[in-house]
Structure 1
Amino acid sequence: MPKPAVGIKRVARAKTRGGAIEPVPLTLTVNGKAYSITVEPRLLLVELLREQLDLTGTHVGCDTTYCGACTVLMNGKTVKSCTVFAVQAEGAEIMTVEGLAKNGELTAIQQAFGESYGLQCGYCTPGLMMCTYQLLSSNPQPNDSQIRKAIAGNTCRCTGYQNIFKAIELAALKARGA
């Protein structure tokens, strides 16, 4: 059996009682807040975030990983939360777009996307910002090729990408204090 992707755990077989699938306990941290809850084993991470934790900044666009609107960080790595079961996040640290701003202050990434018009309808923006966060966390001075690679799994139907590239470049400058 192939190994799961980095940061993703295998899903244990669900126990049934009278044909119904029993909820399973789940402990995880989301945006710095610890949660101990029970979930249906087939619940997707994006559904947990949006429907149970009321963190609606993570969007659902395609349910196939193609669009990237559901991108979040799990243990510091981007994952498409529409194809990760919530139970695979057992013990994980999850960061959503709501976790970027601290004390109500916009981050360099959020400021740069606004200033560079790196969004139009905004549907893809949370996923793009999370990919940008991961990129800049490991590479504060990315070149054009590295920026393109970092957001390759995200689709934007509005902007034509040029302003998104500019936003990421500006975010890198702002984060470095340049």
Structure 2
Amino acid sequence: MIEPVRLIKKYPNRRLYDTKTSAYITLADIKELVLKFENFKVLDAKTQEDLTRSILLQIIQEEETGGVPIFSTELLGQMIRFYGNAMQGMLGKYLENNIKIFVEFQQKLQDQPRSLYGENPQMQTDFWAQFLNFQQPAMQSMMSAYMDQSKKMFQQMQDQIQSQTRNIFTGVPPHPPAGDDKP
């Protein structure tokens, strides 16, 4: 049975109220909900506006400024440049699909030590430590190759869209320059 969406209300005093537990919570608590794959929605208590994305972005901002960032300054700049661009919608779907693939790959890697050592967390930790020590260069190379392949696919998509656009507009006559109204 699918659990109903957990409702979190955000009040004007910036406090977050979890209607399931009838208690005020913090961004750290919401991060825990995300980590536990809980289905939730954050609504403005007064206007009922959906604030879920805004809250998730706040959590990302805290993580980015507090520890080892995932996003480089260059990547953030490139992402900002996509806003308002014709490719904006495609970039979101592209990133979403690549993250899903990465998570599936990570899950498969985590299942391997589980099948060897069962649910012994110490053995799994030891396995991962050894694996990362010996395989880090190979993993970096593999991820680099994957990113190169993704880059090529994205470039091919862009080229295809440009080609289709040119084909669409080849039969359209150009407009005469302004002031050239003479027959």
Specify the TM-score bucket, using the shorter chain as the normaliser: under 0.3
Counting helix residues as a fraction of each chain, which structure ranks higher?
2
- Greater RCO, 1 or 2 (C-alpha within 8 Å, sep 6+): 1
The TM-score normalised by the length of structure 1 is 0.24
Counting strand residues as a fraction of each chain, which structure ranks higher?
1
Larger of the two Rg values belongs to structure: 2
